[in-house]
């Protein structure tokens, strides 16, 4: 039996595009001699469709698309994911399901049993778990088909009390197929590899796994579809961050033509780079946008975002706006201009001194001769935000936010100023990782000016200002933030690791007090295991750990 794994980039709710893409790959797989072609979880509608799933018409369009696709499954079968209605009144209205289609007809339906409701997942909000498990009969073989999370209830600390494969294995299947929508994080590929390998070993079956690829607003899917032999050895690894389709021949419990290989993952920074490029590209293409604008200060954060945007969208589609204040150094302006020259993007220079001075005069009476403080600094940042949004409105540019995760965490940013934008490009990238990204981008030649990398970070909103005036050094701060945010450690637990008690309490308090700001920031491209946004839900007025 020849099985094609089609790793594709879907567009949520774009039924015409998704359907045509699936049909095209059915034809391609058929022409290449495949007997069965396998598509990802919820491929028909895209994942995660979220509250689109509450619209009856949306579900009906999924079904009509499936029927259209079925017409092309002649002399080739297919497996694809989609939401279907629950015929029973009791329980949720939908199932997260997969159709097995053969000879133009839907021959079998598999319903996802284990519904993740953690981090970015919220499947039990919409779906009823499947409770009946049957193998699919095809060409004299039995296929144990599962959907994503159905294979993850293995090893230590299982999240669920049941396991679909424990039931399916009683029917003596010949192979396992798992269709997934498994989001990217730079630590997830190793975990995924272990879970899938352990399933193949536990059930003594070859495993073919297909994942989605592409970005859906803040969530990035990295692809990397996999095949394993019955001993859990990795046999083949499909492309990451790209569409791909490969055909595997399965005979007598073996995947032919492949010998075990070692998983050689890209470095964390290479993975982050690939995810951010894909995230920007898909956000623009799927939203129908073409041109981006950002504020370019000469600092490393905006330099990284500009570089990524140029590579994702083309430099000709990126507008960098330099907005020097009266505190900006000549070197910062030159650093920004050098970056513009290196990448070849558009640029404008719009000083903000006159605008900021005007606001100072307008507010002079209301401020009652009080000394300058954070209010005047934030006015400058908001002048920049106003200019960038004006450019966006006038020319149809989409504003890229340039705040990093360290700043987002501790609230080191100005609402309606440097925190505005349509998409947060590096809001899940710690400052220390930003420096690593700069070195990675410069690996084949200097594109980001060296001075942008080595100079002390500064908002340049007051004389001789440096980030370290307000924050711990980033190499210390980021270690604390990682323990608190990604590892969910309490302040007491972090202090026990040897960190200064006063510093830990200060940092944790800053993180918690900035929650109201993060509620008002743009969606952030997710590259870590715990990103700000839909995957981290904290009360704004909570007292715990503050």
Rounded to whole angstroms, the Cα distance separating 448 from 298 reads 10
Tokens 């504003």 found at: 399
Other beta carbons within 10 angstroms of residue 364's beta carbon come to 10
8 Å CB contact between 449 and 303? yes
Q: Output the six-digit token pair for 106.
A: 């839907």
Looking at 88-238, list the stretches that DSSP marks H as alpha helix, in order from N- to C-terminal side.
164-168, 188-203
Contact by Cβ (8 Å): 259, 231: no
Q: What are phi and psi of 199, to 5 degrees?
A: -65, -45
Confirm whether 383 is a catalytic residue: no
Closest by Cα among 180, 212, 208, 184 to 21 = 212
Distance CA 533, CA 525 (A): 9
41 is catalytic: yes
* Residues 279 and 286 sit within 8 Å (Cβ to Cβ): no
CA atoms within 13 A on the CB side of 335: 25
User: At a CB cut-off of 8 Å and minimum separation 6, what does 410 contact?
Assistant: 471, 477, 481, 507, 510, 511, 514
| Options 148, 345, 383, 420, the catalytic residue | 148
Distances (CA, A) of 472 to 419, 500, 504: 21, 12, 10
Return the residue matching tokens 């046999």.
235
DSSP state of 51: G
Note if 112 is an active site residue. Answer: yes
Judged by DSSP in three states, 187 sits in: coil
**Alpha carbon distance 105, 321 (integer Å):** 56
> Of the listed 21, 30, 112, 286, which one is catalytic?
112
350 and 322 Cβ atoms separated by less than 8 Å: yes
Q: Which candidate in 2, 30, 41, 218 is catalytic?
A: 41
Q: State both tokens at 74.
A: 């002649």
Residues with a known catalytic role: 41, 112, 148
């Amino acid at each position: 039996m020849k099985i094609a794994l089609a790793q594709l980039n879907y567009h949520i709710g774009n039924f015409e595009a998704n359907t045509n893409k699936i049909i095209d790959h059915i034809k391609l797989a058929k022409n290449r001699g495949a007997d069965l072609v396998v598509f990802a979880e919820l491929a028909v509608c895209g994942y995660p469709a979220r509250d689109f799933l509450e619209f009856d018409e949306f579900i009906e369009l999924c079904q009509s698309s499936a029927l259209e696709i079925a017409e092309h499954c002649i002399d080739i079968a297919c497996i694809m994911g989609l939401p279907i209605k629950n015929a029973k009144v009791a329980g949720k209205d939908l199932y997260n399901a997969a159709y097995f289609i053969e000879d133009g007809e839907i021959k079998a339906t598999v319903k996802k049993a284990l519904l993740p409701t953690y981090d970015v997942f919220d499947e039990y909000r919409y779906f009823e778990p499947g409770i009946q498990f049957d193998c699919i009969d095809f060409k004299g073989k039995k296929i144990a088909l599962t959907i994503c999370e159905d294979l993850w209830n293995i090893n230590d600390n299982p999240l669920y009390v049941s396991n679909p494969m424990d039931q399916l294995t009683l029917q003596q299947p010949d192979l396992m197929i798992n269709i997934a929508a498994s989001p990217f994080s730079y630590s997830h590929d190793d975990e995924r590899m272990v879970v899938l390998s352990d399933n193949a070993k536990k059930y003594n079956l070859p495993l073919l796994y297909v994942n989605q690829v592409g970005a859906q607003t803040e969530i990035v899917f990295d692809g990397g579809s996999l095949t394993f032999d019955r001993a859990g050895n990795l046999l083949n690894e499909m492309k990451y961050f790209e569409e791909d389709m490969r055909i595997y021949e399965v005979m007598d419990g073996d995947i032919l033509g492949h010998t075990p290989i070692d998983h050689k993952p890209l470095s964390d920074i290479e993975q982050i780079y690939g995810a951010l490029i894909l995230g920007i590209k898909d956000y623009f293409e799927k939203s129908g946008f073409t041109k981006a604008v950002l504020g370019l200060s000469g600092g490393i954060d905006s330099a990284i975002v500009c570089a990524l945007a140029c590579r994702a969208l083309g430099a000709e589609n990126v507008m960098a706006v330099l907005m020097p204040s009266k505190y900006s150094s000549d070197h910062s302006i030159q650093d920004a201009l050098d970056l513009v020259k290196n990448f070849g993007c558009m640029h404008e220079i719009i000083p903000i001194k006159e605008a900021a001075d005007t606001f100072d005069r307008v507010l002079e009476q209301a401020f009652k001769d009080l000394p300058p403080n954070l209010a005047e600094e934030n006015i400058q940042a908001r002048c920049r935000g106003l200019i960038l949004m004006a450019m966006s409105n006038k020319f149809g540019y989409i504003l890229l936010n340039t705040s990093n995760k360290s700043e987002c965490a501790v609230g080191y940013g100005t609402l309606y100023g440097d925190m505005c934008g349509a998409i947060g490009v590096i809001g899940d990238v710690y400052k220390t990782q930003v420096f690593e990204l700069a070195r990675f981008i410069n690996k084949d030649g200097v594109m980001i000016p060296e001075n942008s990398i080595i100079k002390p970070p500064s908002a340049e909103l007051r004389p001789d200002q440096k980030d370290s005036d307000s924050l711990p050094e980033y190499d210390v701060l980021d270690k604390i933030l990682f323990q608190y945010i990604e590892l969910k450690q309490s302040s007491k637990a972090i202090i026990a690791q040897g960190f200064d008690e006063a510093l830990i309490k200060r940092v944790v308090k800053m993180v918690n007090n900035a929650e109201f700001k993060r509620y008002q920031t743009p969606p952030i491209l997710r590259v870590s295991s715990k990103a700000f946004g839909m995957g981290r839900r904290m009360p704004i007025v909570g007292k715990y750990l503050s």
